[in-house]
Amino acid sequence: MDEDFVRIGTGIPGLDDMVEGGLPFPSTMLLAGNTGSGKTTFCLQFLFEGAKRGEKGLYLTTLSEPTNWMLRFTSRFSFVDKDAIGKSIAYFDLGPYFKSKYPPEDRYETLKRVIEDKIVEHMPQRIVIDPITSMENILKDSYREFLFDLSQSLKNWQAVTLMTGESTPTHSYPMEPAYTADGIIILYHLEHSDGRRRYLEVLKMRGTDHMTGKHMVDISKDGLSVQVGFK
Ligand SMILES: Nc1ncnc2c1ncn2[C@@H]1O[C@H](COP(=O)(O)OP(=O)(O)OP(=O)(O)O)[C@@H](O)[C@H]1O
Ligand SMILES: [Mg+2]
């Protein structure tokens, strides 16, 4: 193994074996999928895996979920350590900064400053922005530049960042965040004649000899797990 190339475990059983042991550190990853495909669950497993290893996590939501949401949402999963919430894993809602009291031309700088302030305050090794795609409506023409700027500064902070994004009927991942991401992981929830089945695909991972193709995924009280090789 290349000792200069640090990787961190995802906490998703099966996935690390697909990516030479873990996600490159530091890096920015795009986690794409349609609604209910498991993006938020994946992100939480990633953060709690870090907490178990003594790493700090920062969960930034853009959806204005109530602050106790994380507790409610996570309470049913076995990987959750409630003591970590609000301590080694910080939760912060970016939603209010999307409101109209901030003129559009100020939102870019405001969002960037707020994200950087939270990182400086918490110094996380693992960061989640769930979902990143809602920023497009807010930032309009400056969205692409913002994503580029953000991914550069996130890497300088020495962290692995997961940005989540919605798939559309025509694209399995959002185009703009894909340009700046070092890796793209796609979750599918596909309809078959006997019902829906879940899959995970590593579409790209810089510096990594990763497995390709769609591999079956299961979601249970233990979160997501990948059945590597089952297609
Ligand atoms: N304990 C469990 N056992 C089995 N399946 C579960 C369990 N908890 C959640 N799920 C399934 O996992 C799905 C994943 O939900 P999650 O919120 O992670 O998806 P998402 O991609 O973030 O969706 P959205 O785009 O709406 O935010 C749920 O819709 C549900 O079908
Ligand atoms: Mg979600």
> What is the average pLDDT score of the chain?
90
Number of domains in the chain: 1
For the CA of 217, the nearest ligand: 1
Q: Torsion over CA of 145, 151, 153 and 154, rounded to 10 degrees?
A: 150
The CB of 14 under 6 Å from ligand 1? The reply is no
38 CB less than 6 Å from ligand 1? Answer: yes
Any ligand 1 atom below 6 A from CB of 39: yes
Using the predicted structure, report yes or no on whether residue 71 has a pLDDT greater than 70: no
Tell the residue number behind the tokens 């991942």, with chain if given: 173
Q: In the structure, what pLDDT confidence band is assigned to residue 152 with cuts at 50, 70 and 90?
A: confident
Task: Report how far ligand 2's centroid is from the alpha carbon of 39 (Å).
Answer: 5
Distance CA 217, CA 55 (A): 26
pLDDT at 109: 86
> What's the pLDDT tens digit per position in 39-62?
999 999 999 999 999 999 999 988
Protein residue whose Cα sits closest to atom 14 of ligand 1: 38
Residue from 15, 74, 8, 72 nearest 44 by CA: 74
Does residue 172 lie within any of the structural domains?
yes
Q: Whose CA is nearest to atom 18 of ligand 1?
A: 38
| pLDDT reading at 164 higher than 90 | yes
Domain assignment present for residue 1? The answer is no
CATH number, domain with residue 159: 3.40.50.300
Are the C-beta atoms of residues 42 and 160 closer than 8 Å to each other? Answer: no
Evaluate whether residue 2 is within a structural domain.
Answer: no
Place of tokens 């894993």: 89
75 falls within a domain: yes
Q: What is the pTM of this model?
A: 0.94
- The domain of 153 spans 7-227
Q: Would the CB of 36 count as within 6 Å of ligand 1?
A: yes
Which residues neighbour 162 within 8 Å (Cβ) at sequence distance 6 or greater? 29, 31, 42, 43, 46, 126, 127, 128, 129, 130
CA of 134 to the centre of ligand 2 (A): 12
Tell whether 108 is covered by a domain. yes
**101 within ligand 1 shell (Cβ under 6 A):** no
